[in-house]
């Protein structure tokens, strides 16, 4: 009985959440302008209610999927009774409607988290922050209710069976990739809300940055994991063995990441030194705008990509209007308020301030590069100047040298002093690291491959240069205080260290896999063997098997190196019966220093041969391992004592006042 | 000029110079790495430059896919139902490649008018038609429905 009306309950809950978001957007802000504490105190309960009702809506949709309620259009289009239960659950965000609901629910939960963990914020500041968050979610909920409700029914004649989830999405990677990515996208709204609240209140001291920093780090960590998962998923699921395609949708997630990275570092300068104040505010606005732009690009169907499904143009228009309003309003506010903020800042060229400034510039240039490459084809197309696409060579030609420049500052930055230092001192601190990095970079290609290679050495040099100088601080402390010395450094310092090491690890992965991978497309039949990258691959068997919702051709590949058996691999070609769609199931043998990758292409005409893609990918895991380390670094920095003791310092400040 | 003012001026100048260099390099490499899209009709009309990397798209013509018995060479024809372009590719075709399916091809045009494909893209949702291909098909459709009055305006105006 209750099950039958679940979609209506969900829809109703969404409307209630919208009403609460509207109240949260208007009343606290009005209260902060007219100094009415009662009005301001509306923000907290509204944030609770919004999160609760969106959770209800989400659970209703999830239950609909679990109970195979195919009278709901969205469920009928994305699930099937033969789909395993966990994919039926992840199918909740497998399509457009469900994923925007997830987006909105996460938005509400970030708002709730802010209202819970920021109790000791000045009351008017908190009211403004929550009000901005309320506005964003109200806009999004309006968008969902107007154009993409997941609860639309197909009545009076519901289909007996669903159309099934796109087979590409029937994968563990997809269960976690979108939620992580959305957590990141949406999380930047908190930094954005803090920045806008600070602008409105004219309170652009360092305080807002201290409040905003942990939130930004957390969002950034989620986004890092989300991007890495997407790359990993593409690597094993698309069957090409590529890990980054410069696909516009990937770029859409990379841009907020780059801008968010710049924001984290700029926040550090504002908090520690009071510098870059207006710049930081602008970056917070830019980062969230890029998150919205990413959502627009992915959700509007203007792009040719994996994520672009047949789509309704009114949605694109709606998000574009939402994007325009957000960017327009926030930049207008910035234009009126920001010039009042002066940051009297003097620092030398050789100082941590300067290093962070350069880092910001390089990151922003990268962002603009990616933005240009992504939007240029869209702009030309909309002006009817021809349809073009911008290929990976463009991005590689620009991003690779920029990363080298970024690495240069990343190595020097952590050992520089704030404000200024002499060139002699800097050289004294760095020469040994430089020598060690150079030696490592020159030696490893010899040891690994027996020959010297300029690109590999350059990549490794950058990676080593980032990592080696980080050892200086702990070493000094060990010399001075013994083994307990390194414990004196703060968690946020170690967060930085971990994040930088993560970047270096990713650079090593990119360098090695781009230069040393072996790939071959071959024709294989039982008994045939091929040699790729020092491994011998032999097909021993070819059978047909059956899964819950697919039929499959399954090969057994014996991999040997010399006389040693390395592993048996089982690539599959699955045929999903409901959608009549074929899918490659890659077989991987993964290791820290190399992956073996076998994918079945297509059956050839003689009936027993298959086209197969066989690859040996050295150090490819390091790509994603690095991203995980970066995320761990971001989270470690959030755990810093400084953020927890804030309430106490505030109380003492109030007691003094 | 006070010291910090001078410093600020230097910072701004360096920023402007860096931005200039960056934008210059970016536009240069953007130009060098663009792939223009051509429909089969445009290719047959000789609008596409031979030897340059380009994108083409259309529907894979029924019964046109032929695999070599020994190697991974494959040939097929893409069409916008007005003109056909033969394509040669060596390698593994994507899962959703199928006769009657819309595909996008990245490659170069050789002297014989064949498209040497370096990449064949078939999209991951079978109901989904790449926008370029959709535009090309609609343009061809529209030209057909206008009885041959008036010269067909080729060019880039594919969207109706």
Q: Token pair of A614, please? A: 């066989």
Mark whether A446 and A312 lie in a shared domain. Answer: no
Q: Which residues of A touch B19 (CB under 8 A)?
A: 365
Q: What sign does the dihedral A421-A426-A427-A428 (CA atoms) show?
A: positive
**Integer Cα distance of A629 and A499 in angstroms:** 6
Check the annotation: does B128 bind a ligand.
yes
Mark whether B77 and B96 lie in a shared domain. Answer: yes
Mark whether A577 and A598 lie in a shared domain. Answer: yes
**Integer Cα distance of A325 and A319 in angstroms:** 10
Q: What confidence category does residue B33 fall into, taking pLDDT thresholds of 50, 70 and 90? A: confident
Select the more confidently predicted residue: B127 or B109: B109
Mark whether A191 and A312 lie in a shared domain. Answer: yes
Q: What confidence category does residue B149 fall into, taking pLDDT thresholds of 50, 70 and 90? A: very low
Mark whether B45 and B90 lie in a shared domain. Answer: yes
Residue A346: which of B4, B29, B126 has the nearest Cβ?
Answer: B4
**Integer Cα distance of A597 and B4 in angstroms:** 58
Measuring CA to CA, which residue among A176, A303, A273 is closest to residue A227? A176
Mark whether B112 and B99 lie in a shared domain. Answer: yes
The rounded mean pLDDT for chain B is 77
The pLDDT of residue B124: 52
Q: Token pair of A194, please? A: 């803090």
Mark whether A572 and A473 lie in a shared domain. Answer: no
Q: Token pair of A395, please? A: 């991005």
B62 burial type by CB count under 10 A (0-12 exposed, 13-18 middle, 19+ buried): exposed
**Integer Cα distance of A195 and A136 in angstroms:** 14
The pLDDT of residue B152: 35
Q: What confidence category does residue B145 fall into, taking pLDDT thresholds of 50, 70 and 90? A: low
The pLDDT of residue B130: 67
> Which residues between 599 and 638 in chain A have a beta carbon less than 8 angstroms from any beta carbon of chain B?
599, 601-602, 604-606, 611-613
The pLDDT of residue B155: 33
CB contact set of B159 (below 8 Å; sequence gap of 6+):
A384, B135, B138, B139
| Residue that finishes a domain, picked among A170, A201, A231 | A170
The pLDDT of residue A651: 47
The pLDDT of residue B35: 79
Give the single-character DSSP code of A345. Answer: -
- Spans in chain A with pLDDT lower than 70: 1, 300-313, 339-345, 644-657
The pLDDT of residue A245: 86
Mark whether A466 and A522 lie in a shared domain. Answer: no
Residue B19 lies in a domain: yes
The pLDDT of residue A340: 58
Length of chain B: 160
Number of domains in chain A: 4
Number of domains in chain B: 2
Q: What is the pLDDT of residues A334-355, one digit of tens each?
A: 988 876 555 556 777 888 999 9
Q: Which residue of B has its CA nearest to A239?
A: B94
Distance from the A484 Cα atom to the nearest Cα atom in chain B, whole angstroms: 42
DSSP line for A50-82: HHHHHHHHHHHHHHHHHTT-TTBHHHHHH--TT
The pLDDT of residue A213: 92
The pTM score is 0.89
Are residues A316 and A296 in contact, defined by beta-carbon separation less than 8 angstroms? Answer: yes
A657 burial type by CB count under 10 A (0-12 exposed, 13-18 middle, 19+ buried): exposed
Q: How far is CA A402 from the centre of its chain?
A: 20
- Interface touch B4/A361, C-beta < 8 Å: no
Residue B46 lies in a domain: yes
Sheet-wide strand order for A594-603: A518-524, A610-618, A594-603, A587-590
Mark whether A405 and A361 lie in a shared domain. Answer: yes
Mark whether B59 and B7 lie in a shared domain. Answer: no
3-state secondary structure labels for all residues of A272-327: HHCCCHHHHHHHHHHHHHHHHHHHHHHHHCCCCCCCCCCCCHHHHHHHHHHHHHHH
Residue B2 lies in a domain: yes
Mark whether A522 and A511 lie in a shared domain. Answer: no
Mark whether A61 and A87 lie in a shared domain. Answer: yes
Helix ranges, A79-122 (H): 85-90, 96-117
- Interface touch B33/A391, C-beta < 8 Å: yes
Mark whether A331 and A201 lie in a shared domain. Answer: yes
Mark whether B52 and B124 lie in a shared domain. Answer: yes
Tell whether B108 is within 8 A of chain A (Cβ).
no
Residue B16 sits in which domain range? 1-34
Run of H or E including B109: strand B102-109
Q: Which residue's structure tokens are 């950058």? A: A462
Residue B131: which of A304, A393, A398 has the nearest Cβ?
Answer: A304
> Distance between the two ends of chain B, CA-based, in angstroms?
61
**Integer Cα distance of A622 and A620 in angstroms:** 5
Q: What sign does the dihedral A501-A506-A512-A518 (CA atoms) show?
A: positive
Residue B42 lies in a domain: yes
Are residues B158 and B80 in contact, defined by beta-carbon separation less than 8 angstroms? Answer: no
Mark whether A488 and A555 lie in a shared domain. Answer: no
Give the E-state strand segments of B33-101 in sequence order.
34-38, 54-60, 66-67, 73-79, 84-90
Q: Which residue of A has its CA nearest to B128?
A: A310
Tell whether B9 is within 8 A of chain A (Cβ).
no
The pLDDT of residue A298: 78
**Integer Cα distance of A67 and A581 in angstroms:** 25
Residue A433 sits in which domain range? 422-516+626-657
CB pairs < 8 Å spanning A and B: 116
Mark whether B72 and B53 lie in a shared domain. Answer: yes
**Integer Cα distance of A363 and A496 in angstroms:** 17
Mark whether A447 and A463 lie in a shared domain. Answer: yes
Mark whether A543 and A639 lie in a shared domain. Answer: no
Select the more confidently predicted residue: B103 or A382: B103
Mark whether B101 and B134 lie in a shared domain. Answer: yes
Other CB atoms within 10 Å distance of the CB of residue B101: 15
């Amino acid at each position: 009985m209750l099950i039958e009306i679940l979609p209506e309950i969900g829809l109703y809950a969404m409307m209630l959440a919208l009403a609460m978001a509207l109240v949260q957007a208007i009343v606290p802000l009005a209260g902060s302008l007219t100094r009415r504490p009662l009005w301001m105190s509306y923000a907290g309960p509204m944030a609770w209610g919004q999160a609760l009702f969106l959770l209800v809506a989400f659970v209703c949709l999830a239950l609909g999927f679990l109970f195979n309620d195919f009278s709901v259009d969205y469920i009928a289009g994305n699930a099937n009774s033969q789909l395993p239960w966990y994919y039926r659950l992840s199918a909740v965000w497998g399509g457009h409607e469900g994923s925007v609901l997830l987006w909105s629910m996460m938005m509400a939960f970030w708002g709730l988290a802010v209202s819970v963990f920021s109790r000791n914020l000045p009351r008017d500041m908190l009211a403004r922050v929550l009000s901005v968050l309320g506005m964003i979610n109200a806009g999004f909920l309006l968008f969902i209710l107007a154009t993409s409700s997941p609860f639309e029914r197909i009545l009076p004649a519901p289909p007996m069976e669903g159309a099934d989830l796109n087979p590409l999405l029937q994968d563990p990677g997809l269960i976690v990739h979108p939620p992580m990515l959305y957590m990141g996208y949406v999380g930047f709204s908190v930094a954005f809300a803090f920045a806008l609240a600070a602008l409105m209140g004219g309170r652009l001291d360092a305080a807002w940055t201290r409040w905003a920093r942990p939130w930004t780090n957390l969002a950034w960590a989620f986004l890092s994991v989300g991007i890495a998962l997407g790359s990993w998923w593409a690597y094993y699921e698309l069957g090409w063995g590529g890990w980054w395609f410069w696909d516009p949708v990937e770029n859409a997630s990379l841009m907020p990441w780059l801008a968010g990275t710049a924001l984290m570092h700029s926040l550090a300068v504002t908090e520690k030194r009071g510098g870059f104040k207006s710049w930081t505010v602008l970056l917070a606005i830019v980062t969230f705008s890029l998150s919205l732009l990413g959502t627009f690009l992915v959700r509007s169907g203007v792009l040719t990509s994996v994520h672009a499904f047949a789509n309704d143009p009114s949605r694109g228009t709606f998000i574009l209007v939402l994007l325009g309003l957000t960017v327009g309003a926030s930049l207008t506010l910035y234009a009126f308020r920001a010039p009042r903020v002066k940051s009297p800042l003097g620092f030398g060229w050789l100082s941590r301030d300067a290093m962070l400034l350069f880092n910001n510039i390089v990151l922003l240039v990268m962002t603009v590069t990616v933005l240009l490459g992504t939007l240029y084809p869209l702009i030309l197309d909309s002006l009817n100047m021809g349809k073009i696409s911008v290929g990976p060579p463009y991005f590689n030609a620009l991003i690779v040298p920029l990363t080298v420049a970024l690495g240069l500052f990343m190595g020097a930055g952590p050992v520089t002093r704030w404000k200024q230092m002499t060139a002699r001192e800097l050289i004294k601190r760095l020469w040994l690291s430089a020598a060690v990095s150079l030696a490592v970079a020159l030696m490893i290609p010899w040891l690994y491959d027996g020959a010297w290679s300029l690109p590999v050495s350059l990549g490794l040099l950058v990676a080593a240069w980032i990592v080696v100088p980080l050892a200086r601080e702990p070493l000094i402390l060990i010399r001075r205080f013994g083994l307990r010395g390194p414990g004196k450094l703060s968690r946020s310092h170690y967060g930085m260290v971990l994040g930088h090491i993560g970047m270096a690890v990713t650079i090593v992965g990119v360098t090695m896999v781009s230069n040393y991978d072996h790939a071959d497309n071959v024709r294989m039949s039982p008994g045939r063997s091929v040699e790729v990258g020092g491994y011998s691959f032999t097909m021993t068997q070819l059978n047909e098997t059956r899964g819950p919702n697919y039929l499959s051709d399954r090969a057994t590949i014996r991999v040997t190196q010399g006389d040693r058996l390395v592993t048996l691999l089982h690539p599959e070609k699955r045929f999903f019966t409901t959608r009549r769609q074929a899918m490659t199931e890659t077989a991987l043998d993964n290791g820290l220093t190399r992956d073996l990758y076998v994918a079945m292409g297509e059956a050839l005409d003689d009936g027993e041969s298959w086209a197969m893609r066989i690859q040996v990918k050295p150090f490819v895991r390091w790509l994603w391992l690095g991203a995980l380390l970066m995320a761990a670094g971001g989270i470690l920095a959030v755990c810093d004592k400084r953020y927890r003791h804030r309430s106490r310092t505030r109380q003492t400040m109030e007691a003094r006042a | 000029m006070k010291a910090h003012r001078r410093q600020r001026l230097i910072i701004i100048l360096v920023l402007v110079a860096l931005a200039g260099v960056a934008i210059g390099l970016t536009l240069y490499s953007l130009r060098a790495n663009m792939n223009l899209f051509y429909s089969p009709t445009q290719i047959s009309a000789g609008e596409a430059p031979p030897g340059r990397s380009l994108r083409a798209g259309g529907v894979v013509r029924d019964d046109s896919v032929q695999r070599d018995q020994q190697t991974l060479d494959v040939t097929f024809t893409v069409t916008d139902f007005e003109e056909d372009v033969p394509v040669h590719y060596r390698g593994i075709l994507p899962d959703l490649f199928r006769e009657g399916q819309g595909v996008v091809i990245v490659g170069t045009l050789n002297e014989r008018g064949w498209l040497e494909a370096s990449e064949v893209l078939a999209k991951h949702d079978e109901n989904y038609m790449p926008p370029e291909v959709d535009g090309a098909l609609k343009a061809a459709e529209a030209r057909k429905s206008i009885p041959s009055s008036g010269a067909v305006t080729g060019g880039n105006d594919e969207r109706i």
